Amino acid sequence: MLENETLDAALVSITEALLHPGYVILDNVAVASDGPVQSVFLASKGPLESVETIHCDPASLTSINLLKVLLKEKGIAPQWQPLPDYDSAPEKNAVLLIGDPAIRFRQSGPTHHIWDLGQAWKECFQLPFVYAVWAIRESCAHPTMLKALQEAKVSGVQHLDELVRTTSRFDEAFRSDYLGKAIRYDLGAPEKEGIECFIRKLAALSDHKVYAPHYVSTTNH
């Protein structure tokens, strides 16, 4: 919808914003981690070095590219296969999982080894990783919208304890740890450095053009 101009702005994966022209990125707001993220990981029945095929959700483009970058650093180049459905994940020798299905898989007590990609990125590059940003079509980046989106982030963080308490998914202790510690909401200098590192590694993976991010806020617009 963002690409076909049905939407002026959307919270999308960082890959969408980097691989397509015509977007600006809202400053100071992100979905990021600075270490373990808990909801983006490779689950494998054997050691990483033995992984030959990885099943994944084709829609999780940022996670796939992140995993490709991390595996390339280790000299591992597996085959990639689409995951037919999340119910089949426990049967696979190696599967990339994200979001709620990943959390449920992790909480089910699998025998798989869990390779948390947020933690792996931090260990490899000593930087946070940014998973999602507000991408805004350049022609629609009006100060009123930017201010509203930035204020929504501030309000959300201020009411985080209430959101943790009233959200129904998973148990409260997990929600508090996940939303209050694992997930970060800032897009500052360390996060931008993480994005720049990801851009360099992404450009080395393929010939697809990677676009330099242009950050906007109410102070520089």
pLDDT in tens, 145-159: 999 999 999 999 999
**Pairing between strand 53-56 and 94-98?**
parallel
For a pLDDT cut of 90, what percent of the chain falls above it?
87
Q: Is the pLDDT of residue 220 over 80?
A: no
- Does residue 57 surpass a pLDDT of 90? no
Average pLDDT, the chain: 94
Q: Is the pLDDT of residue 221 over 60?
A: no
Structural domains of the chain in order of their starting residue, each with its CATH number? 9-34+128-216 (3.40.190.10), 40-125 (3.40.190.10)
- The values of phi and psi at residue 144, to 5°, are -60, -45
Q: Kindly report the CA angle at 10 between 6 and 11, in degrees rounded to 5?
A: 155
pLDDT in tens, 175-202: 999 999 999 999 999 999 999 999 999 9
Q: What is the pLDDT of residue 146?
A: 95
**Which of 150, 121, 157, 118 lies closest to 134, judged by CA?**
150
Global pTM?
A: 0.94
Average pLDDT in the 118-141 region? 96
